[in-house]
Amino acid sequence: MQNPADDDRDLQARLRRVLTACAAMGETLAYRDLARRAAVPGPHGIHRLTLALETMVREDHVAGRPLLAALAVSRAQRGPDGGALPGRGFFHLLAELGRYDGPDHGPAAAACHAGEVARAQAYWGSRDLPGGV
């Protein structure tokens, strides 16, 4: 039986590969589609996905890298222009890390997310990271 910590690292490596490909294409990806492409097992696959994305945000933040997890978005959460945004927990985590000081929805959240996406796509989209980070 594999160690749960190894499972988490494997999941994060798969998520990073999928999201790096999205960055190279200038795209974002809905949570459910990301879970499918990264082969996140159920039950509770979306919950596992969000925990892994939170870990990725923390790791990228500490390493001074743009947030690759910003490319993962919710189909339900929309900005004022109708564009997909991450779930509200993304903005709460950014606030906890000192990267954002605003509401978890609306124009300020959409602007924050747009900036994070642009930085992530510019940085991660220009890299060939077959083995992860």
Number of domains in the chain: 1
Domain membership flag for residue 133 = no
DSSP bridge pairs for 84: 78
Over residues 82-101, the mean pLDDT reads 96
Q: What is the CA radius of gyration of the chain?
A: 14
pLDDT at 132: 43
Domain membership flag for residue 75 = yes
Structural domain boundaries enclosing 77: 4-124
Q: Which residues of 56-73 are buried (b: 16+ CB within 10 A; e: fewer)?
A: bbebbbeeeebbbbbbbb
Q: pLDDT at residue 16 above 80?
A: yes
Domain membership flag for residue 131 = no
Q: pLDDT at residue 17 above 60?
A: yes
Over residues 86-110, the mean pLDDT reads 97
Domain membership flag for residue 50 = yes
pLDDT at 129: 53
Domain membership flag for residue 32 = yes
Give the 3-state secondary structure of residue 26: coil
Q: pLDDT at residue 1 above 50?
A: no
pLDDT at 43: 87
pLDDT at 99: 97
* Cα gap 21→27, rounded to integer Å: 9
Domain membership flag for residue 132 = no
